[in-house]
Amino acid sequence: KFLNVIDNQLSILITRIPHGETMDELRYDGQTVVVTGAGGGLGKAYALFFASRGASVVVNDLGGSFKGEGSSSKAADVVVNDIRAAGGKAVANYDSVENGDRIIDTAIQNFGRIDVLLNNAGILRDVSFKNMSDQDWDLVIKVHVRGAYKCARAAWPYFRKQKYGRVINTASAAGLFGSFGQCNYSAAKLSQVGFTETLAKEGYKYNIICNVIAPIAASRMTQTVMPPDILDNLKPDWVVPLVAVLVHSSNTNETGSIFEVGGGHVAKLRWERAKGALLKTGPTLTPGAILKKWKNVNDFSEPSYPTGVADFMTLLEEASKLGDND
């Protein structure tokens, strides 16, 4: 039943996404998928799905608490056993994502290749900014920022050499919009957007496609902050189909994008720039001159959608041509 529902969701998505290839069932035979933090929640759903569609899966999980304390091999082992019992191929890895090279090594040693990296592992150490300790800050940044970096860095040479790679990084609404008591997590999660945007630019000519998702799903991370009836509609399984589409070989163009996904909702997000004010540089560029044009600074009636620093340089060029009366 679970796979049927995913199939239905996939076919809806495929008809909407401009892929060259349309398939009834996306498959990943012969590919190796590394899923970090795959012992529970979203990571477990990814691991089960990709194994059921022919991929060999590295099930990474440190097996600690959601605050990043302790470790255990149990979380990863349970998922590997489930996959094998269903006839799939999987191997466990218990390293912290901070040792991403060992996780990618596990893929190479066991399956000889790495095709897809799902940077999913994460922890929370929620506390108001006033009470935040260095440890709360450092641990969250280490797992999310350094962890995603170390895994991608170790996979990158393989991706480049084989001219094929697919990466999903995991952001969060907390990172995109801010969230009370989650300053460390917000900083870590928005970092995944910039990280992905640059990886997408550097990877494109090697057919390395990188996207970032801001998921919402019932897991041990959300079960204490959301009521049960809402959590029932937020199964991790409803995040899987979008990830499946983005990392499939038929996706050769959707890269560097941010998607919100969960509970049946899938939408792309992008940066929007207001009309803005152009002021001549020099002594006339005073606080008062900006205040005079404040309306334009905030005017979203004629927006643009920048995708790189080049857009900004064009604006600077225009500003440099302004006359004394502008």
Q: Report the phi/psi class of residue 285: left, alpha or beta, with left for phi > 0 and alpha for psi in -120 to 50.
A: beta
Q: What's the Cα-to-Cα distance from 270 to each of 113, 214, 256, rounded to whole Å?
A: 33, 13, 10
What CA–CA distance (Å, rounded) separates 161 from 174?
Answer: 36
What CA–CA distance (Å, rounded) separates 80 from 38?
Answer: 10
Q: At what angle do helices 100-111 and 147-162 cross, to 10 degrees?
A: 40
Cβ closest to ligand NAD, residue 47 vs residue 209? 47
Is residue 185 part of the annotated active site? The answer reads yes
**CA dihedral of residues 102, 247, 209, 140 (deg, nearest 10):** -50
Active-site pick, 46, 164, 185, 206: 185
Cβ closest to ligand NAD, residue 14 vs residue 35? 35
In terms of DSSP H, where are the helices of the chain?
A: 2-16, 41-52, 74-85, 100-111, 134-141, 147-162, 173-177, 183-203, 228-232, 240-246, 287-292, 294-297, 309-320
Query: Please, are residues 147 and 99 in contact by the beta-carbon 8 Å criterion?
Result: no
- Closest contact distance (angstroms) between CB of 160 and ligand NAD is 25
- Closest contact distance (angstroms) between CB of 222 and ligand NAD is 4
Cβ closest to ligand NAD, residue 121 vs residue 209? 121
Query: Please, are residues 290 and 279 in contact by the beta-carbon 8 Å criterion?
Result: yes
Cβ closest to ligand NAD, residue 56 vs residue 120? 120
Torsional sign, CA 208, 212, 216, 222: positive
Nearest residue by C-beta to ligand NAD?
A: 41
Q: In what order do the strands lie in the sheet with 165-170?
A: 89-93, 56-60, 32-35, 116-118, 165-170, 208-215, 258-262, 265-269
Query: Please, are residues 57 and 47 in contact by the beta-carbon 8 Å criterion?
Result: yes
- Closest contact distance (angstroms) between CB of 216 and ligand NAD is 4
Cβ closest to ligand NAD, residue 217 vs residue 247? 217
Cβ closest to ligand NAD, residue 14 vs residue 100? 100
By the criterion CB under 6 A, which residues form the site for ligand NAD? 36-37, 39-43, 60-64, 66, 68, 75, 96-97, 120-123, 143, 147, 170, 172, 215-217, 219-222
- Closest contact distance (angstroms) between CB of 159 and ligand NAD is 21
Q: Which residue has the tokens 């990043």?
A: 68
- Closest contact distance (angstroms) between CB of 187 and ligand NAD is 13
Give me the active site residues, please: 185
